[in-house]
Amino acid sequence: MGKQKYLNEEQRKYVRLDTVFPVQIRLVSLEGNQLLSGWLQGFTNNVSRGGLCLSIGNLGENSAEIIKSRQALISLEMELPFIPKPVAARARIAWVQNAGGGKDKYLIGLCYEDMDKKYINKIMRYAWGRKILIPLGIGLIVIFSLLLGVNGLINLRLTQANKELVRKLVSVIQEAGVAKKEIVRIQGEAEGLHKNIENLISQINSAEEEKLRLSEKEKVSSQEYLNKLDSLNNLIQKLSEEKNTLEETLSLARAKESLVKEELLRLDRIKLTLEKANVDKMYRWVKVHQNPRTGLVISFEGDSDIKGWSFIYDQSLAAQAYLYYSDLGSAQKILDFFLYQAKKEEGLFFNAYYALDGEVSEYILHSGPNIWIGIAAAQYIHRTSDLKYLPLAEGIADAIIQLQKQDREGGLRGGPHVTWYSTEHNLDAYAFLNMLYEITGKKKYADSRGLVLSWLIKHAYDKVDVPIKRGRGDSTIATDTYAWSIAAIGPDKLEVLGMDPDGIMDFAVSNCAVEVEYLRPEGNRVKVKGFDFAPQKHVARGGVVSSEWTAQMVISFKIMEGFYSKRGNLERAGAYRAQAKEYLSSLGNMIISSPSPSGQGESCLPYATSEFVDTGHGWFTPKGRSTGSLAGTAYTIFAYYNYNPLAFKD
């Protein structure tokens, strides 16, 4: 009993190790001057500052007896993983215990007699590190795993909630559409009933007049008079009964119309709440797809061919969305990329960069996308009065002015390495130069702006049958040139130039508005009314709604509403307001949930209702029915809040 107590007390001094070290030992006489055995192989079991527990087997009878009697010192050489060479030490035997599993297997407690303290300290640090850090590490792993699980559960619920928000909006839009159609049907039915009632009243009045004429005729025999009078009375009664029936039917129709209108008002109230929630979710989608290192936002989420690409036109839209939401830090990250990091050539930036590292992904230089970066910088300056990005804006302006000087008519080519001229790019330039002139007051920007406008009048607005040409010598219809003429130049200025802003809008509606069936990612089909990239009759693919270009038209409808409101023409203003509301509401049918884990189901819009189809302007829509578009999403945000990126708004 006493011996066991002693062993327990001794063993409590040791630190339990999860790993073992190989140890070679030799038995040495107590005086230390005589070897009593050759090298024997053992392993550490536990360690302490004063010694260690050694596990050893295969002892010969002589060695076992010497060890059990503790009539020897132990000479050790330990192979330690944290010390490059074997560590030598000498120890005395404190206790011996049979390890079980065989009579020649022992646990031997050793106390150091001679060992360098620096090695003792290293062994103890390692032992305690193993004892504390391993459980701590396991605990951290468990905690981290739990946190990941909780975070995954939260993300799953958030994604499901976001998807449900989109589903509810689409459902309400569909129900509201059905209600509107029912109201139109009832109103048509009521109008028909009203006309029939008026016709019956007219017939009754005619019969009454005929009765009066009969009573005035003296030559008519009494019987003939009575017969005709009876016939007319019967007719009047029949017509009156039919009129009463129709009036009751009309009254029921009016009552039903009133009920459906009340339901529509209820749905509209719900839709307003859901639209606001989804628009805010769209902004979140733009936020979560901004790379924290470069500041760039991916342009398309879902098309593997352009995965991680950031088109610079889209970056301008993202920066302006951030500005609208007063998120100056996120806007600065984008503008800082172009101010400090982005590679460029001939004073212009390339069309696209990789969001991850900022390297060029499309080595093409186009004027328009560069101008849009300048527009974003100008909008930032106007919003904040901070001139940090003025050099960025003026650098782009100087580059396009140099291009402009190469054209005797003051037009702006599509880029330094192309020969074509785009109306869209020149509209961009007009708006941008106008902004820079307002910011700086520099005459060169006003002069350049005037040349651009002269070029537009001569080459874009020179036809009667097609109000706006796509470019010089190019009568192709591009919907965005119609929307941007209103947004960049404005209806007041267009009228001064002899252009008809109403005619521009009417032409776009007549030629480019379409209603198509859209197959949503979850599998249901919905009707979407919006604007195609080009007239449907000019392309074999059938109608396609562009979310971005439809949103551009919504902004132009709202500009026209304001134009007529200022003039006191409330009827025209109301007509444009109704069109803006109709097309913006229909865009809600295109809202989808982000397909990626990082997107967490946040709301966004696809580029178009059809994937990988020809736009009619030299590029195809992205692949994938669940591919979110930065341009389509950002412009829909602008349309909802009536923000025109091509003009300053005080």
Mean pLDDT, residues 138-155: 62
Within-domain flag for 172:
yes
Work out the percent of the chain whose per-residue pLDDT is above 90: 65
Is a pLDDT exceeding 80 seen at residue 151? no
Mean pLDDT, residues 534-561: 90
Mean pLDDT, residues 438-466: 94
Is the same domain home to 132 and 258?
yes
Is pLDDT larger for residue 414 or for residue 2?
414
Mean pLDDT, residues 507-525: 95
Give the C-alpha separation, 302 to 590, whole Å.
Answer: 16
Please, are residues 32 and 51 in contact by the beta-carbon 8 Å criterion? no
Helices vs. strands in the chain: H and E counts, helices first: 16, 18
Is the same domain home to 150 and 183?
yes
Please, are residues 313 and 372 in contact by the beta-carbon 8 Å criterion? yes
HSE of 460, CA atoms in CB hemisphere, 13 A: 28
Give the C-alpha separation, 232 to 610, whole Å.
Answer: 65
**Lowest mean per-residue pLDDT among 181-190, 430-439, 511-520, 530-539:** 530-539
Q: What is the pLDDT of residue 446?
A: 98
Work out the percent of the chain whose per-residue pLDDT is above 70: 91
Is the same domain home to 634 and 601?
yes
Q: What is the pLDDT of residue 150?
A: 53
Q: What is the pLDDT of residues 322-368, one digit of tens each?
A: 999 999 999 999 999 999 999 999 999 999 999 999 999 999 999 99
Q: What is the pLDDT of residue 7?
A: 46
Is the same domain home to 523 and 627?
yes
Lookup result for tokens 């995965």: 307
Q: What is the pLDDT of residue 134?
A: 65
Please, are residues 84 and 22 in contact by the beta-carbon 8 Å criterion? no
**Lowest mean per-residue pLDDT among 55-59, 155-159, 514-518:** 155-159
Give the C-alpha separation, 255 to 186, whole Å.
Answer: 10
Buried b (16+ CB within 10 A) or exposed e, 12-42: ebbbebeeebebbbbbbeeeeeeebbeebeb
Q: What is the pLDDT of residue 12?
A: 46
Is the same domain home to 510 and 644?
yes
Residue where one domain finishes, among candidates 80, 95, 115:
115
Residue where one domain finishes, among candidates 57, 85, 115:
115
Q: What is the pLDDT of residues 161-175, one digit of tens each?
A: 888 888 899 999 999
Is a pLDDT exceeding 70 seen at residue 4? no
Is a pLDDT exceeding 80 seen at residue 101? no
Is the same domain home to 241 and 106?
no
Within-domain flag for 530:
yes
Is the same domain home to 86 and 137?
no
Q: What is the CATH number of the domain that holds 29?
A: 2.40.10.220
Give the pLDDT band (50/70/90) at residue 109.
confident
Give the C-alpha separation, 237 to 561, whole Å.
Answer: 52
Q: What is the CATH number of the domain that holds 271?
A: 1.10.287.1490
Give the pLDDT band (50/70/90) at residue 600.
confident
Is pLDDT larger for residue 85 or for residue 301?
301
Q: What is the pLDDT of residue 53?
A: 85
Token representation of residue 646 = 């091509």
Please, which contacts does 527-530 make with residues 24 or more away whose CB atoms are closer than 8 Å? 527/177, 527/586, 527/589, 528/586, 528/587, 528/589, 528/590, 528/609, 529/582, 529/583, 529/586, 530/583, 530/586, 530/587, 530/590, 530/609
What DSSP string describes 234-251?
HHHHHHHHHHHHHHHHHH
Predicted model pTM: 0.75
Is the same domain home to 214 and 98?
no
Q: What is the pLDDT of residue 156?
A: 60
Question: Which of 105-109, 549-553, 623-627 has the largest mean confidence?
Answer: 549-553
Mean pLDDT, residues 589-598: 88
Is a pLDDT exceeding 60 seen at residue 2? no
Q: Which DSSP symbol is given to 474?
A: B
- In sequence order, what E strands does 57-117 have? 73-78, 87-98, 106-114
Q: What is the pLDDT of residues 5-19, one digit of tens each?
A: 444 444 445 555 555
Token representation of residue 170 = 């689409």
Is a pLDDT exceeding 80 seen at residue 56? yes
Q: What is the pLDDT of residue 216?
A: 61
Is the same domain home to 64 and 141?
no
Within-domain flag for 393:
no
Q: What is the pLDDT of residue 452?
A: 98
Question: Which of 11-20, 92-101, 482-491 has the largest mean confidence?
Answer: 482-491
Phi first, then psi: give them for residue 566, nearest 5 degrees. -65, -30
Within-domain flag for 403:
no
Is pLDDT larger for residue 105 or for residue 586?
586
Is pLDDT larger for residue 112 or for residue 156?
112
Q: What is the pLDDT of residue 333?
A: 98
Within-domain flag for 388:
no
Phi first, then psi: give them for residue 241, nearest 5 degrees. -65, -40
Q: What is the pLDDT of residue 27?
A: 84
Token representation of residue 346 = 């001939």
- CA distances from residue 227 to 98, 216, 220, 364 in whole angstroms, order as listed: 139, 15, 11, 94
Within-domain flag for 108:
yes
Give the pLDDT band (50/70/90) at residue 144.
low
Is the same domain home to 73 and 99?
yes
Q: What is the pLDDT of residues 394-413, one digit of tens each?
A: 999 999 999 999 999 999 99
Residue where one domain finishes, among candidates 254, 288, 322:
288
Q: What is the pLDDT of residue 157?
A: 67
Is a pLDDT exceeding 80 seen at residue 30? yes
Domain span including residue 144: 127-288
Q: What is the pLDDT of residue 3?
A: 45
Is the same domain home to 184 and 226?
yes
Mean pLDDT, residues 372-383: 98
Is pLDDT larger for residue 103 or for residue 521?
521
Token representation of residue 224 = 């003939």
- CA neighbor of 454 nearest in space, from 400, 403, 399, 412: 412
Within-domain flag for 467:
no
**Lowest mean per-residue pLDDT among 130-139, 230-239, 337-346, 512-521:** 130-139
Q: How many domains does the chain have?
A: 3
Please tell me whether residue 609 adopts helix, strand or coil conformation. coil
Is the same domain home to 498 and 602?
yes
Q: What is the pLDDT of residues 166-217, one digit of tens each?
A: 889 999 999 999 999 999 999 999 999 999 999 999 999 999 988 888 766 5
Is a pLDDT exceeding 80 seen at residue 72? yes
Within-domain flag for 335:
no
Dihedral of the alpha carbons of 312, 450, 448, 404, in degrees to the nearest 10: 80
Give the pLDDT band (50/70/90) at residue 99.
confident
